Chains A and B, each alone.
Chain A
Amino acid sequence: MDNIAGTKSSLTWAVHISVAVLVALWLFPTVGLFVSSFRTADQISTSGWWKSLFPSEQNLTIRTAGPDAQGPDGPLFVIEGNLFDGKDAEISVWGISSRAIADFVPGDTAELKKGGRVTVQANGDYRMENEEEFTGSRGIRIFVTAEQPPEFTTENYHNMLLDPKNVDGMAKAFFNTLTVTIPATIIPIVVAAFAAYALAWMDFPGRALLIACIVALLVVPLQLALIPLLKFHLGIGIGKGYLGTWFAHTGFGLPLAIYLLRNYMVGLPRDIIENARVDGATEFQIFTKIILPLSFPALASFAIFQFLWTWNDLLVAKVFLIDSSGQTTVMTAQIVELLGTRGGNWEILATAAFVSIAVPLGVFFAMQKYLVRGLLAGSVK
């Protein structure tokens, strides 16, 4: 806008850089969690996620193969293998005691306390030799400091989504969330569309008052509704469950739905509707054949809002849905639970969070246009 007078500002670079910094700041936390969800528990707890993008030096404790793997080599008993199971890594120093993890360099041979000796190469190959048979049930521990290339795994997602034995798994919660979300998005749209049409294009006494009431209800905190509605649901016998949750989401979503749709419908050209009336169309036909198809953008806007809001909701689900059996938990509630019980297990938390974030993010990027349009219609007056 400022280039209209031909002032190619010297500030342009400053603008580019500040925007880049802001975007980086805004993205950084999310990327951190995303990267973490592809790392193993060990990796997450030993180094910051930003280091995982580069080769990293790590202190590892690895056990060699046990005595049952030994074989004869001439007069000697020998155990051979690779500490990294053939994965790429470069050992800089190693040791055989936790108090001296840097006693040896690759190629050195260390004498073992229990008899015998071990040689470790830079790539992790080791060879244990002994004149007598190795005894015991387990291999010895070797402490290595090694440079490992970046390594990512999808195992976390496998554990959280596909492993039916995992009690922390998200598969069930995912379907529960979906079960809550879809009816809670569709039903208010139908109800609101008819009401919005009446408020936009039908003349009746009290219309202005009703619209004012809906604007007022837009801001009523749903906190006020918790106890009265829970009492009401228990009273009419539906108790805690999906039915009550769908009703609640419908009720809470309606003011915005009616408001958005009415504002949009009022803006539709009067001629079309009047012509249809003159041609003898009934109100019902006008609504279903003309208004509804024309209002698609507003319907889409609201659908996205309601979808995001019900998918991301915690409070309504906790109050109206989740009973003591825990069978109907939704993802947000499950994540809060995990924050309490698995506070330090970032591989679980990060993966769980991303499973729940992925769907709204997909919807967001696919339908951003409608979301922006809805926001503008809903707020700017």
Chain B
Amino acid sequence: MHPALLGIFTIAIGVGGCVTYYFSSNWILDNLLYPAKGPNAGRNINRANMIRPWLFLFPALVALGLYLAYPVFETLRLSLTDRDQDGAFVGLANYKQMFSEPKFWEAMRNNMLWLIVVPAMSTMFGLLVAQLTDRIKWGNLAKSLIFMPMAISFVGAAVIWKLVYDARPEGTEQIGVLNAIYVWFSGGAPQQWLTLPIWNNFFLMVVLIWIQTGFAMVILSAALRGIPEETIEAAIVDGANPIQIFFKIKVPQIKATIMVVWTTITLVVLKVFDIVFAMTNGQWETQVLANYMYDKLFRSFDWGVGSASAMIIMLLVTPILVWNVHNARKEMR
């Protein structure tokens, strides 16, 4: 069958199936199991109301359980077994093997660099743009343009930035902006930016910063607008200059939001895959954990070590997970 037809078919079945399920299960509950009439009407209504939430939740719980919760445990199990030995339990052997690989430590080092640089720079630029655009007439247009990269795929962004970093042989015209500027100012030979160890990591990070700044800006801009005017008026009356107002009055009041932005970007960074995969594929010392894992799983078909590295990503995410859950519970009370 043609995939487009299959698609329409699936939408029809999926959506129709869901709606039918919700409608009919609800109908059965109300009319056959516990009808709200007869001698036991009151008791029946109560019982029906106890069951109904689970009917509404059931498909979502199945999908969440199967597609997110179960894989966490299954990956943990796989990371302790060896595929070549028919899935035999091998304890921590996969982890030991992974820790002995220099490529893994390279990925860890790079991931740490990413974790420090990208959230910091994105939040900083986001805060800067949010503050500056707040005061000018065409601020909304400016924000919208800086926000735009959010809609662009990581792969699309990789192509866009590869053109920026492009290098042509010395003596010919440079078509990459960075080399054109570099050659113009330094007069030296054009550089292959993506193959310069250590530095190339930063050139890759620029891509993610470019994408995430818009996100940080949107959130922080809303937070800045939520600051009570009186606090700022009071500061102005006391003779504070704009810089003092920004750092001493505004920033402390939006600290919680800055944390949220920071952690959200941190999560994106931990999972960063497409950019590295498309631009360098981890060569020239640019490996990161997610790409290392992909290499292990789908190039060397080593499910044990691949799962072990996935567990490392999970481990790095866990503090944020705990913090988020803690906040959500606090807020619900």
A-side interface residues toward B, CB under 8 Å? 1-5, 7, 9, 11-12, 15-16, 18-20, 22-23, 26-30, 32-33, 36, 44-50, 175-176, 178-179, 182-183, 186-187, 190-192, 194-195, 197-199, 202-204, 207-208, 210-229, 231-232, 242-243, 246-248, 250-252, 254-255, 258, 282-284, 308, 311-315, 318-319, 328, 332, 335-336, 339, 346, 349-350, 352-353, 356-357, 360-361, 363-365, 368, 371-372, 375-376, 379-381
Contacts and interface: CB of A to CB of B under 8 A. Distances in A.
Contacts of B149: 26, 30
A4 B233 contact: yes
Interface stretch (B95-103, B114-122, B217-225): B217-225
Contacts of B297: 226-227
A308 B311 CA distance: 27
Interface stretch (B104-112, B197-205, B260-268): B260-268
A376 B233 CA distance: 26
A22 B142 CA distance: 9
A212 B331 CA distance: 11
A4 B227 CA distance: 14
Interface centre among B132, B134, B153 (most CB of A within 10 A): B153
25 contacts: A23-B145, A44-B175, A48-B173, A48-B176, A178-B4, A178-B7, A183-B14, A187-B11, A195-B56, A195-B60, A198-B54, A202-B56, A221-B290, A221-B310, A221-B317, A222-B271, A228-B74, A251-B67, A282-B26, A315-B274, A318-B298, A332-B156, A335-B155, A339-B159, A381-B328
Given A219-B317, A284-B22, A208 B329 contact: yes
Categorize the interface residue count of chain B: 35 or more
Contact of B11 (A19, A186, A221, A254): A186
Given A247-B67, A311-B153, A336-B277, 4 more contacts: A19-B136, A216-B325, A242-B10, A315-B274
B53 A198 contact: yes
A220 B175 contact: no
B315 to A, nearest CB: 10
A194 B63 CA distance: 13
B152 A227 contact: no
Given A29-B164, A335-B278, A187 B15 contact: yes
A293 B8 CA distance: 24
A283 B153 contact: no
B57 interface: yes
A198 B151 contact: no
B28 to A, nearest CB: 12
B313 A221 contact: yes
Interface string B307-320: 10011011001001
A332 B273 CA distance: 13
Contacts of B324: 215-216, 218-219
A28 to B, nearest CB: 7
Interface centre among B26, B154, B159 (most CB of A within 10 A): B159
A248 B274 CA distance: 18
Given A7-B236, A212-B329, A328-B3, A204 B260 contact: no
A251 B64 CA distance: 6
B57 A182 contact: no
Given A228-B78, A242-B7, A335-B155, A1 B232 contact: yes
A53 B317 CA distance: 47
B332 interface: yes
A335 B41 CA distance: 63
Contact of B274 (A11, A30, A314): A314
Given A194-B22, A195-B56, A312 B242 contact: no
A191 B19 CA distance: 9
B80 interface: no
A208 B53 CA distance: 13
A353 B156 contact: yes
B209 to A, nearest CB: 10
Given A19-B142, A48-B180, A311-B153, A195 B273 contact: no
B310 A50 contact: no
A179 B331 CA distance: 39
Interface in B63-106: 63-64, 66-72, 74-75, 78
Contacts of B222: 376, 380
Given A2-B245, A361-B148, A217 B175 contact: no
B78 A227 contact: yes
Contact of B153 (A18, A187, A199, A356): A356
A204 B50 contact: yes
A369 to B, nearest CB: 11
Nearest to A14: B132
A346 B163 contact: yes
B71 A175 contact: no
Given A204-B54, A360-B153, A335 B175 contact: no
Contact of A312 (B153, B223, B267, B325): B153
Nearest to B260: A379
A26 B210 contact: yes
B146 interface: yes
Nearest to B165: A29
Nearest to A196: B60
Given A2-B135, A211-B332, A375-B215, A19 B274 contact: no
B170 to A, nearest CB: 15
Interface in B39-62: 49-50, 52-54, 56-57, 59-61
Contact of B67 (A225, A258, A314, A335): A225
Contacts of B159: 33, 335, 339, 349-350, 352-353
Given A19-B142, A50-B177, A215 B7 contact: no
A203 B50 CA distance: 8
A23 B210 CA distance: 11
Interface string B219-261: 1001100000100110011000010010000000000110011
B53 A191 contact: no
